[in-house]
Structure 1
């Protein structure tokens, strides 16, 4: 940055050098507002702030005659060369008089960050003295980000104004448009959305806002325009903007900084992190009481410590965005059993801006996937009647690039880096039985309903106040992330998960009547014409099972394919196996109790 070469007007006045809170008039009308102490606007400000007379040897100087530091258009244009406050100044009130662009505010903050120890800096309206923006935190972040980043930000404010005419090239108009906006902009790859940095995070500028601003720009510069020229301006701007890098998958973003989930190193959020959202809480490396969360956990786990660990592992996976574990969560249970609370806590752990709702059908279609971009958590509610093969769900949880077809924009491919959570009263029905869904599926069943007299309508609000402590608890519980992954796999193979699947998948239920051996000396596969062979052949036994249960049967080919997954779900000692013999295809599957099966389904 350039060295500051001169003082801002009136900075060296005695009352400004020794002020507890320095007053700065800034904006296009700053000099007019002051008007050598005679301006009505300045006098109203001085009266409202009750500025005391300043005593000197020559007598007291009245409030109107105490010249404030003034930054008009000329001063703002050379802000990088001005000293606008003494180095030890701690409290500053910037009073906005007229127009003050975001570029100019950024340059002001940068100046104060690099030349003063200012702790409290407020930007207020000149007419009402109400707070427009508290700049204190932003200035502190600029200090923490260092000179290199600060200079990059400052380039916006130091650029010369670009003049455009109707005949100017679109590339020139788009550069002038960016300067006119006065925002720190970047383009997200893939989605090609424009984001603006607000000093903490990057916020998306939607197409409608950009089009409105483009029209304002054309009007302000007295340029001709049409719908085509407006879109051309925006698209050209996108081509010129720097590209955002992907947020680091190892970082968890809090309100007060970033936590590296691998090293547990905590650092301030930096501009170049390109953070688009963060948790609505601060990270503290200290344990905190979480009585309401603990009470909820004790209720849903019902004394089962392994289940409690497995639930915490699911919340850890959500918090740390372990989409790369290629699993999805499915929460089942009656109304009032805690499913919604679980989903709400998960939402708190990633933030509302990083959570979206979506159906399983939406995951199957390119047009339906638009809302999943830049999200860390996708909640699918009441999907028990889905009845599809889960192709989209498998692609998303598998980390595969999927096609996205947003309205009014070109389709593109992207990896959706989100945890999927399905919340149902009963388990989802999938037609896929080749194992692609089953090996990704982690089912939790909440089987206790909170009695009406014990329900707390404020429970979620209370848990939200404990979210910092919950984060600390999760990070401490799973210092080795693989402990959480092992807990999730434990939940996959739990008795409650198998029971839930048996209730909605008849193949899983059917296979529960069998076990396996190490040799293929068990039942034959058989076919549909083998009546009376239910004791020795699987497919005839299956047809008896479906006929008695009133279930639509699978054909022989699909049954044979599904059998491998169904047997695997039972966690038998030996994997399913088969071999061809002269008498037909024989398996290593045996009845647990053939007489009980025959009694139940044939008599």
Structure 2
């Protein structure tokens, strides 16, 4: 029996429901719901089982060649349709707005563990998912806008909208509901589709191998992260990243997953090119539930309400772009800006500036100019801000000029500069009333000198 014939025998043992992922060279088996990866080791064991059932001799080389031949025979997998959400009993088509049975040609890789059912008459979150309703209202401090934006984040996880090129970051003190939100997201994505990782894992090719094949990557209880965020930027941006699995050939692929970071302290990113900022959606849970009011069974109670929550999300966001717009609003919210100001001194410094449409503000200056005059030179004002707030390691004037456009963009402002006979002048002036707290001997009526 030739290798190709042995490959056909192996294919028949899987009812011919096999296909090959071209990027990873991994065989997948359709189980009636999704296409699940089958390792080469499992394929070899199945081939050995076929020989043993027939009481025929075999060799390791013959088994390996059968698997190699099988891969050459298989059809190539196609990317799954973005408008389909898989459940245990079928798929919900967001375009057609209806539920139908699974099809092999959907090429689904992931499905929720929950069975989708029709809603009861007059179903609402408040009446039919009261535990979730009360929890979310408390977590969002009864803010209606924030309530809707958190629902939009949950829809993003449910629909696996990694293609929106966003990632979620949940901050807040312990007991504020962050872990419950992460648990709900895990339920929406499916426990088997969720993996726990770290920021370091997103940046390391060997560790990245552990997150391939999952639709939700949770970064739980992060220690304070300081870095450029290259890994999370590449993954959420849809770029191909290097994967270096143990005992297998390295390859590159896109990781189609939503990333959810959960931490007490917000992450601090050194990248100010906008690559991280335009992808980052920050929610701050500020309402801490007192110890005596916490319900240890809350997760289980919300899990029982999951079908209602899912139906509500699908009804609420019939137009998925409505959810994306809400997340864009959250990105530009005062809450998100406050978090960024607390983790990035340059962004905070920009909060003390007033931008003009003309270059009629402070001169840029540099550290060598004497006398030191933060009322006249923008860079001197920055140095005064750093010293006045006991912050170390101010950036150089060159880096300052490179980073200011990104920092000002957080306020939807532009950084303008123009040469003048006194030096390079900016479009920025100090807000005297707010800067007085850290400015040395600043007189409110003392204007910049020419």
In the superposition, the TM-score normalised over structure 1's length comes to 0.68
The yes-or-no answer on 1:551 pairing with 2:392 is: yes
Query: Over residues 335-384 of structure 1, what are the superposed CA-to-partner deviations in whole Å (9 max), with x where a residue is unaligned?
Result: 11111111111111111122212222222232222233232211112335
Change (3 A) 1:550 1:208: same
Cα displacement (A) at 1:194: 2.1
Matched, 1:359 2:193: no
Query: Any unmatched runs of 5+ in structure 1?
Result: 1-163
SS in 2 for 1:379: strand
Residue 182 of structure 1, CA deviation: 5.5
- Contact 1:253 1:277 survives alignment (8 Å): yes
Residues 29-428 of structure 1: pairs in structure 2 closer than 5 A:
164=1, 169-180=2-13, 184-220=17-53, 221-226=55-60, 228-286=61-119, 287=123, 289-428=128-267
RMSD of aligned C-alpha atoms?
2.0
8 Å contact 1:384–1:427 — kept in the other structure? no
Q: Does 1:542 align with 2:382?
A: yes
CA contact (8 A) 2:112 2:188 kept: yes
Is the partner of 1:280 in helix, strand or coil?
Answer: coil
Give, in whole Å, the separation in 2 of the partners of 1:513 and 1:386: 26
Q: Quote how far apart the aligned CAs of 1:294 are.
A: 0.3
Deviations 1:53-97 (A, max 9, x none): xxxxxxxxxxxxxxxxxxxxxxxxxxxxxxxxxxxxxxxxxxxxx
**In the aligned structure 2, how far is the partner of 1:283 from the partner of 1:375?**
21
1:556, CA displacement in angstroms?
1.4
Q: Give CA deviations for 1:475-525 in whole Å, capped at 9, x if unaligned.
A: 222222222112111111111111111111111111111121121100121
The 1:384–1:534 alpha-carbon spacing in structure 2 relative to 1, beyond 3 Å, is farther
**Superposition deviation, residue 264 in structure 1:** 0.8
Alignment check: 8 A CA contact 1:524 1:584 kept: yes
In structure 2, the residue matched to 1:486 is: 325
Query: What is the SS of the residue equivalent to 2:210?
Result: helix
Q: Given the superposition, is the C-alpha separation of residues 480 and 197 from structure 1 closer, same or farther in structure 2, using an over 3 Å criterion?
A: closer
Name the TM-score, length of structure 2 as normaliser. 0.90
User: 1:271-293, CA deviations, whole angstroms, 9 ceiling, x for partnerless residues?
Assistant: 22233331122223423611111
> SS of the counterpart of 1:600?
coil
For residue 243 of structure 1, give the secondary structure of its aligned residue in structure 2: coil
Change (3 A) 1:205 1:556: same
2:48 and 2:58 in contact (8 A); partners too: no
Question: Contact 2:33/2:90 (CA < 8 Å) preserved in 1?
Answer: no
Q: Distance in 2 between matches of 1:456 and 1:323?
A: 32
User: For 2:438, what is the secondary structure of its paired residue?
Assistant: helix
Q: 1:597 aligns with which of 420, 423, 435?
A: 435
Cross-structure match for 1:560? 401
Deviations 1:282-308 (A, max 9, x none): 223423611111011110111211111
Task: Report 1:466-545 matches (<5 A).
Answer: 466-530=305-369, 531-545=371-385
Cα drift, residue 601 of structure 1: 4.1
Alpha-carbon contact 1:261-1:320 (below 8 Å) kept = no
Q: What is the DSSP-based 3-state SS (H/G/I as helix, E as strand, rest coil) of the residue aligned with 2:91?
A: strand
Conserved 8 A contact 1:361-1:386 = no
For 2:444, the equivalent position in structure 1 comes to none
